[in-house]
Structure 1
Amino acid sequence: MAPRTLEELKRKLQKLNSPTSDLKLGKRALAALTQMMDNPEKVAVTSISLLAEEAGVNASTLSRLVRKLGFASFAEFQLVFRKHLARSSRTSFYSDLAGRFVDEESDGGASLAPASLALMTQVAEEETDNIAQMLSSLDVDALEKTVNLLAKAPRVRVYGLRQANTVANFFTYALGLLRPDVSLLGNPHHGVAHGLNELTQEDVVVVIGAAPYTRATIAAARIAANHGMQVIAITDSHGSPLATEATLSFIAPTSSTWYSNSMAAFLVFIEGLMAMMAGRLGRRGLASLKQHEQLIDEVSHEL
C-alpha cells in the first residue's frame, strides 16, 4: 500500500535505507527520493521533468520509483506532498507558492525581460508535461462509458469551486452547446442541496477539483453517489477524495511553477471529451449547435 502522508513516506524511506529492506532501489533512485523528501514544498508544485533534472535522473526513473513505492502515478505521489503543504499552511497555500518569485531586495523597477521569458518558457514546458501525463493515464473504457453517460442522462450537473469553478463553467457551456439540460449544480440562491434534490439516479453529476480540495465539492460528490447518481470526477490524483466518491474518474496533473494549480490538462481533457461527445451525438448534437447559432443571429439582429 502506498504511503498516505509525508510521515508514512519518511518511515518507508528509513526502512529502504535498512540492509534488511525487502524493497531494493538503485543508488540514483534512492538519492533522488532522499532529495525530494528534503524539499517537500518544491516537490508539491514542481513538474516531474524538472525534479528529475535537478536530481540528475530521467523522468522515467522517477516514474518507476513511485510505482515501486506503491503509487499508481507520479501525480498520486505528488499529492502526498501537496496535502502536507496544505495542512501545514492552510491559509497561505497560494502566497507560499507565489513567494518563490519575489525578490525581497527588488523594488520592482528593474527590467525583467530575460527572466520573464525564461519563466514563461518554464511554465509552458510544465503545462506540456501535465498534458502528456494526463494522456498517458487515460482509460479508454472509462472514456467510452463517460461519453455514453453524458449522452443518455436526462440531466447533467457540473460542480467546482474556487479556481475549478471556471473549469466547471467551461464544461457546462461546451456540453450545453451539444445537448439540453446541462447546468452548474445549485442555484447560488438555492444552494447545492436544492440542486441535488432535483436529480434522480438516471442523472450525472460531474465534480471538478484539485488539492487543496473544498469540503463542499467533496460533500456534493459523496451525497450524489450515496443517492445513486453517476458521479464523474476530473481531479488531480486517484488518491483524491473526489476520485474516491466517483463512478468514473480522470486524472489531470496540476504541478506548475505558478502560484496555484495548473488547469491546462483539465481544459485539454474537456476539449477532447467534448470532441468525442460531438461525434457520439451526431446529428442531434449538430442540430443543437445550429439552433444555438440561429439564436445568436436573432439576438445580434435585435441589438
Structure 2
Amino acid sequence: MATIEASQAVPQTTSELSAIVEGVRRGDDRRIGRRALGALVLMLEHPHRAAVQNISQIAKETNVDPSTLTRLGQRLGFSGFTELQEVFRRHVAERGLFYSSQTQGLIERNHPGAANGFQDLANEEVGRLLETVAGLDEEEVRRAAELICNAEVVYVMGLRATHAVAYFFTSFASFLRPRIFMLGTSGAAIAEEMAQITDKDVFVPVSFRPYTQITVDACSAMMKRGIPIVSLTDLSSPIAGEGPSHVTLRARGPFYFSSAASNFFVAQILLSAVAQQLGETAINHMGNVETLLKELSIETE
C-alpha cells in the first residue's frame, strides 16, 4: 500500500481531500486502504460531524478502528488524525457554521437517554489535553516564558470568546510580575493602546478558531514593527509564527464551551514556566499583591 509521496502537497481543504479520493479511485499513487477510503468518503459527506466529533465517535460511525483514522491522517501527510480533522474544522468555520455545528455535536452526544454522555465528553477533553501536551515543545515554552519575563511591559489581547483565556492569563501573570495589561478593556481605541508597544515589550495575542479578525490584524501589525510576540492559539493559525522573537504555543482541539480545557491549559503551562523563571522575584511580587489584597479587604476566607 503506497503512502503519499513527499513531493505531493498535504491537503488543506475538503476539495483537495475529495480530489485525492477521486485519484485513489482512478489508481493514483496516493492509494489508501479500502476501509480508510470509505471512512474518508463518509467524513466528506458529513463535514460538520467530522469537524466536531472525536476520533472514537467518527470511527464508530464509519465502521473502522480509531487506529485506522490515525493511519489515514498519516498517509495523507499529516502527523495523525487531529491535523486531518483540522481541514474539516476550517471548512465549517469558513462557512460561518462553527458555533451551531459545535452545539449540534454536543446535543447529539448528550441527548436524553444517551449512554455515558458526560463521561464521553470528559474522555474527549482528556484526550485533547494529552494531545496538547505531546505537541508542546519544552524549549518553545521556555523561550515564550523568557520573552515575558524580560519584557518591560506585557500586552495581552484576547477578544470575544477568547477573552476568557486572555483574562485568565493576565490575572495570574499579574501575580508573578508587574506591568501586565489587557488591550481593549480601557475604553480607548485598540490602535491607541497598541501605539504604546515597543520592541522592549511583548505582545501576547490569544485567538482560537474561528479567529477574530482584529486580533489577526493586530498580530500582523506587531510583526511588521518587530515587536516580540508570544501567540496562544491552535493548529494552522493565522497568528502563529516562528523566530527568535515570535513563539507560538498551540492547543489541540476546537475552542467552545464544551471544549475549552486544552486552551486554558496552554495558558496555565506558560504561567508555570514564567513562575519558574522568575523564581524569588515572582514570590516577592506576589507577596506585595497579597498584602494589598488583605489591606483592601478584596478577598475573604
Same fold? TM cut 0.5? yes
Q: CA deviation at 1:181?
A: 0.8
Q: Judging changes above 3 Å, is the alpha-carbon distance between structure 1 residues 138 and 302 closer, same or farther for their aligned structure 2 residues?
A: closer
CA distance in 1, matches of 2:104, 2:36: 29
Equivalent of residue 12 in structure 2, options 4, 11, 26:
4
Contact kept in structure 2, 1:231 and 1:245, CA below 8 Å: no
Deviations for 1:11-42, whole angstroms, at most 9, x for unmatched residues?
122112221x2223233322222222222001
Pairing of 1:1-303 with structure 2 (within 5 A)? 1-19=9-27, 21-88=28-95, 90=96, 92-100=97-105, 112=112, 115=114, 118-237=116-235, 239-244=236-241, 247-255=246-254, 262-300=259-297
In structure 1, give the amino acid aligned to 2:247: L
* CA RMSD between the two structures: 2.6
In structure 1, give the amino acid aligned to 2:21: L
CA distance in 1, matches of 2:242, 2:187: 26
CA distance in 2, matches of 1:232, 1:58: 38
Q: Judging changes above 3 Å, is the alpha-carbon distance between structure 1 residues 156 and 66 closer, same or farther for their aligned structure 2 residues?
A: same
CA distance in 2, matches of 1:84, 1:199: 35
User: Percent of counterpart pairs with the same letter?
Assistant: 32
Q: Secondary structure at the match of 2:231?
A: strand
Q: Secondary structure at the match of 2:29?
A: coil
The structure, 1 or 2, with the larger RCO (C-alpha pairs under 8 Å, 6+ apart) is 1
Q: CA deviation at 1:192?
A: 1.8
Q: Judging changes above 3 Å, is the alpha-carbon distance between structure 1 residues 77 and 230 closer, same or farther for their aligned structure 2 residues?
A: farther
Q: What stretches of structure 1 move > 4 A for 4+ residues in a row?
A: 100-103
Q: Judging changes above 3 Å, is the alpha-carbon distance between structure 1 residues 16 and 250 closer, same or farther for their aligned structure 2 residues?
A: farther
Q: Secondary structure at the match of 1:234?
A: strand
CA distance in 2, matches of 1:213, 1:70: 25
CA distance in 2, matches of 1:101, 1:263: 13
Unaligned runs of 5+ in 2: 1-8
Unaligned runs of 5+ in 1: 104-110
In structure 2, give the amino acid aligned to 1:97: Q
State the number of aligned residues: 288
CA distance in 2, matches of 1:250, 1:301: 33
Q: CA deviation at 1:8?
A: 1.6
Deviations for 1:67-90, whole angstroms, at most 9, x for unmatched residues?
3323345443222212221233x2
Alignment TM-score, normalising by the size of structure 1: 0.85
CA distance in 2, matches of 1:41, 1:299: 50
